[in-house]
Structure 1
Amino acid sequence: MSARDVVFPPGRQALYEKNRYSPAIRSNGFLFVSGQVGSRPDGSTETDLQAHVGLAFDNLNAILSAAGCTFKDVVDVTVFVVDPESNLETIWKVFGEHWGEAPYPTLTGVGVTWLYGAQFEIKVIARLPEASAAD
C-alpha cells in the first residue's frame, strides 16, 4: 500500500493534526478534499452564516491552491447545510461569488441537523491540472 499524498494549506497543519484528518489527498489524477467549514486558523467557527460560507470557500480555495488547483478544476461538489429551508438562500448568494462560469461542477446538497458547531460544509473532488494536461 502506498503512502497517502496529503495536501496541507499554509498555516493550518496543526489544526488538521489535532483533529486527525487530512485536508486533501492526491490520488490517480484527482484531489479529494475533506469537508471545509467556516473555521478560523485557531479552529473557532464563524457564526454569521454569510461570513461562515465565505470563510469555508476561503479554506477550500487555500487547499486547492496548495495542490496547484483552482475552483475551475473542481468536478464534484457536496454541500451539507443545517436547516436548508431557512439557510439555502443566504448560502446560494455566497456561492455566486465563488462558483465561476459554466460548465459547472456536479452538485449534491444534503440537509443535516448537526455539523459540529457549523451551519455549512463543502467538500469537493478536483481534477489535478497535470492529469488534465495528460489527456
Structure 2
Amino acid sequence: MTTRDVIFPAGRQALYERNRYSPAIRSNGFLFVSGQVGSREDGSPETDLQDQVRRAFSNLDAILSAAGGSFADVVDVTIFMVDPQQTFEAIWQVVPEFWGEAPYPTLTAVGVTWLYGFDFEIKVIARAPETEEG
C-alpha cells in the first residue's frame, strides 16, 4: 500500500488530527486540497462573512504554500455557500483579492444548508510542484 503524501500547513496540524482528515494529498502530479473554511487557529469561525472568506483563502494559501505552490497552480475550484442567494455578492467581492488574473481555474459553486457553523468553504485541485523524490 502506498503511503499518502500529506501536506500540513504550519501551526494547524492538531486541528486536522482532531477532525481526522488530511488538509491536502499530493498524488500523480496534483494536489487535492480538502475544503477550507474561515476558521481561526482554534477552529472557530470568523463572524463576518467577508472576513470568513478571506480567512478560508488564507488557510488555503497556507496549504498551497506548504506544498511549494500558490493559487496560480489551482486548476479546479469548488465553493460551497450557505444561502447563496443572500451571500453570493458579498463573497464574490472578496474573491478577486485572491483569484489572480485570467485564465481562471474551473469553478463549481454549490448552495448548501449547513457547513458546521461556517457560511463559505473552498475546495481545490492544483498542479503539484515536483518533489525531490518525483
CA RMSD of aligned residues (A): 1.2
TM-score, length basis structure 2: 0.96
* Counterpart for residue 90 of structure 1: 90
* Counterpart for residue 39 of structure 1: 39
Question: Any idea what SS the aligned residue of 1:51 has?
Answer: helix
Aligned-pair distance for 1:130?
2.5
Alignment partners' CA distance in 2, 1:47 and 1:103: 32
Deviations 1:25-56 (A, max 9, x none): 00000000000000001111111000000000
**Aligned partner letter, 2:63:** I
Paired-residue identity, %:
75
* Counterpart for residue 11 of structure 1: 11
Question: Any idea what SS the aligned residue of 1:130 has?
Answer: coil
Alignment partners' CA distance in 2, 1:44 and 1:118: 9
* Counterpart for residue 78 of structure 1: 78
Give the number of aligned pairs. 132
Q: Which runs of 4+ in 1 moved over 3 A?
A: none
Extract unaligned runs of 5+ from structure 1.
Answer: none
**Cα contact 2:38–2:120 (8 A) shared by 1:** yes
Deviations 1:46-68 (A, max 9, x none): 11000000000000000000000
Extract unaligned runs of 5+ from structure 2.
Answer: none
Q: Which has the higher helix share?
A: 1
